[in-house]
Structure 1
């Protein structure tokens, strides 16, 4: 192999590893959707993807559940980066609103198969539990980033609460006909607070 190609971050080896990882995830999801999560084992996934079981676990050490959530690490990093790498002058609420809007309007999220995946997760106890643990990990990562950006301690309750309620906007938006409008309104409420958002419209803010 050419030394330059091997050393480059996007070189042939990196591309091959990424392709193998994607093939494993795609194969697993297809089999899960066809026959059900509990009816498919890691050995079968490896055989259909034409790799060894040990290779599968090298890419997905957490096993079957991780194959469904293969973008977990990238999603968490993107969430944190939305806060830590936001453009000068952009507030944290603005950065998170932009990040969530980009997510719900992405081709991946708008693909009908994404809804089928969400349904599979909700119907499978092991996947629901993995999703809950994953969401908590993302929440904690976001809370730490918020604390670092505002000079607060990592156990700050305000940052923890904001991280939790902000991430809930994605689930809220996913249940609405217009996800972008749902994110706008949820983020407006979180940014300005209940009293300042609702009271001007003549409703009791209590």
Structure 2
């Protein structure tokens, strides 16, 4: 590998380390003091970075909470593109949603989601984030030639799947919620043509 390749790799690692340090500072401060009591300057100082550096990694205070937004967004699209030819799209998406809901309900993630559920600003940010996820999923569905899905049907099914995730994430009985909602999604998918 060339010296410039080593430099680029090192630069990317340092950027990732800085982003991770900022996110960890934000998470810890938000959980210790409460989301509303912590400002951007508090997070930057705790992470030992300039405010401008923080904003080069995160577009807003809300984005600090949803550090893995892009990973979740890509996960939906990848569940479509990586499924086996004989796998049902709806069953693949259900498994993906179940995994996300399990993650959100885990011991490590639960305090963050409790904080999100108590904050109108964070709930609003989550809603806008989920719209982006639905749009990304719809593009993946429409792009898959094997699915033969009209774009409007792909958009509708994507919105249904994202709504199923949202309902299950906030449910006391997530599996039961998915058991009720996914047959409806499957029926809509079967009626798409």
User: Which TM bucket (shorter chain)?
Assistant: 0.7 to 0.9
Structure 2: segments with no counterpart, 5+ residues: 189-193
Q: Paired residue for 1:135?
A: 130
Alpha-carbon contact 2:19-2:57 (below 8 Å) kept: yes
C-alpha distance in 2, partners of 1:63/1:174?
23
Q: Verify the 8 A CA contact 1:97 1:184 in the aligned structure 2.
A: no
CA distance in 1, matches of 2:5, 2:175: 41
Question: Which of 140, 147, 151 is the aligned partner of 2:142?
Answer: 147
Q: 1:45: how far off?
A: 0.6
Change (3 A) 1:85 1:114: same
Q: TM-score, normalised by structure 2?
A: 0.82
Deviation at 1:128, TM superposition (A): 1.6
- Range with greater deviation from structure 2 (165-174 or 74-83): 165-174
Greater length-normalized contact order (CA 8 Å, ≥ 6 residues apart)? 2
Tell me the equivalent position of 1:197: none
Q: In the alignment, what sits opposite 2:23?
A: 25
Contact map agreement 2:27 2:65 (CA 8 A) in 1: yes
Aligned to 1:63: 60
Among 98, 123, 131, the alignment partner of 2:118 is 123
Provide the residue aligned with 1:111 in structure 2: 106
For the structure 1 residues 119 and 93, does the alpha-carbon distance in structure 2 shift closer, same or farther, using more than 3 Å as the test?
same
Query: Do the aligned partners of 1:82 and 1:99 also contact (CA within 8 Å) in 2?
Result: yes
The DSSP-based 3-state class of the residue aligned with 1:112 is coil
Asked if 1:43 corresponds to 2:38, the answer is: no
TM-score (norm 1): 0.77
Compute the displacement of 1:105 (Å): 3.5
Q: Could you report, residue by residue, the CA deviation over 1:80-112 in whole angstroms, capped at 9, with x for unpaired residues?
A: 111122122212112212212232344xx3433
**1:167 aligns to what SS in structure 2?**
helix
RMSD: 2.5
